[in-house]
Amino acid sequence: MNLKRLILFVLLGVLVGITIFWVPGRFADSAAIEDDEGSAGASASQSGSPGAAASSEPSTGSGLGRTSKPATEALPKAASTPTESGLPGLAAKPRTKTAALVSEPLPKQAVRKDALVAGYPTALAPPSRTTVDVSSVSPTTGVLQVALTASCRKPCDVLRHYRTRLAQHGFKEVTTTSVENTPVTSLSRGDETVSVTVTRTSRRHVDFSLYSVLRTKS
């Protein structure tokens, strides 16, 4: 009985010794492994933080010789711009003729029926398809008075005809009082005047009269 107890105590002692010597060593190995891993991570973070930050962040171009310029948006060019001569695509206004409509020597005083009298100014020519009743010219010193009564076949716009024709010579329309509400146009250029009046309108014809005072020096 004493021998069994002795053997039991010996076995217990062996087990206790193994436990004492083996457990602290295992704890020491684990601690060493953890210390190695921590030191490796710390060294990696310390050595990589400046470089990593520099490599992960885009370059700001602050270094010498590497300054980057901000991007600019290219604006489309204008197709065309106004010039001094006028807007693009628009033709210049035609020049007006300022020369005198009559010149020396002036024609002699004359009256003619059914046709234009000799010396009748070309600038005062009536519209096409016009039948002349009476035309006359009467000169004085440097001045020529012109008169015309006629009729034109429709469609004809007598007032528009003379407005357009005389505007090319620098005449401008002025306000005038018509007689008995008859259509009338008065144009002037300095001391020169031209008056055209529509006297009667029928189904086929427009009757009109013209009176003008022109000068040899405009």
Whole-angstrom distance, CA of residue 38 vs CA of residue 121: 117
Q: What's the pLDDT tens digit per position in 116-157?
A: 999 999 999 999 999 999 999 999 999 999 999 999 999 999
pLDDT tens profile 30-71:
444 444 444 444 444 444 444 444 444 444 444 444 555 555
The reply to whether 103 falls in a domain is no
Q: What is the mean pLDDT of residues 11-35?
A: 52
* pLDDT score, position 39: 47
Residue 77 has pLDDT above 70, yes or no: no
Whether residue 162 lies inside any domain: the answer is yes
Average the pLDDT over 69-88 and give the result: 47
pLDDT tier at 203, thresholds 50, 70, 90: very high
* Residue 103 in this model has a pLDDT that exceeds 70: yes
Burial class (CB in 10 A: 0-12, 13-18, 19+), 140: exposed
- Average pLDDT score, the chain: 74
Residue 62 within any structural domain of the chain: no
Is 58 contained in some domain?
no
Question: Would you state the pLDDT for residue 168?
Answer: 94
pLDDT of residue 182: 85
Question: Which residue segment(s) compose the domain that 187 sits in?
Answer: 110-215
Give the pLDDT confidence score for residue 181 in this predicted structure.
76
Average the pLDDT over 99-110 and give the result. Answer: 95
**Is residue 70 domain-resident?**
no
Of 6-15, 37-46, 183-192, the poorest mean pLDDT is in: 37-46
Average pLDDT over residues 143-172: 96
| Cα 166 to Cα 168: distance, rounded to the nearest angstrom | 5
Distance from C-alpha of 57 to C-alpha of 40, rounded to nearest angstrom:
25
Q: Which residues touch 183 (CB under 8 Å, ≥6 apart)?
A: 159, 197, 198
State the Cα–Cα distance between residues 182 and 82, nearest whole angstrom. Answer: 44
pLDDT tier at 180, thresholds 50, 70, 90: confident
Residue 88 has pLDDT above 50, yes or no: no
Strand pairing report for 172-174 and 184-189: antiparallel
Q: Does some domain include residue 206?
A: yes
The count of domains in the chain is: 1
pLDDT for 12: 67
β-pairing verdict for 192-201 and 130-140: unpaired
Q: Is residue 140 part of a domain?
A: yes
What end-to-end distance do the CA atoms of the chain give, in Å? 164
166, part of any domain = yes
How would residue 98 be classed by pLDDT, with cut points 50, 70 and 90?
A: confident
Judged by average pLDDT, the poorest of 6-20, 76-90, 116-130, 168-182 is 76-90
What amino acid is encoded at 3 in this protein?
Answer: L
pTM over 0.75? The answer is no
The rounded distance, in Å, linking the Cα atoms of 158 and 209 is: 10
Question: Residue 97 has what pLDDT?
Answer: 73
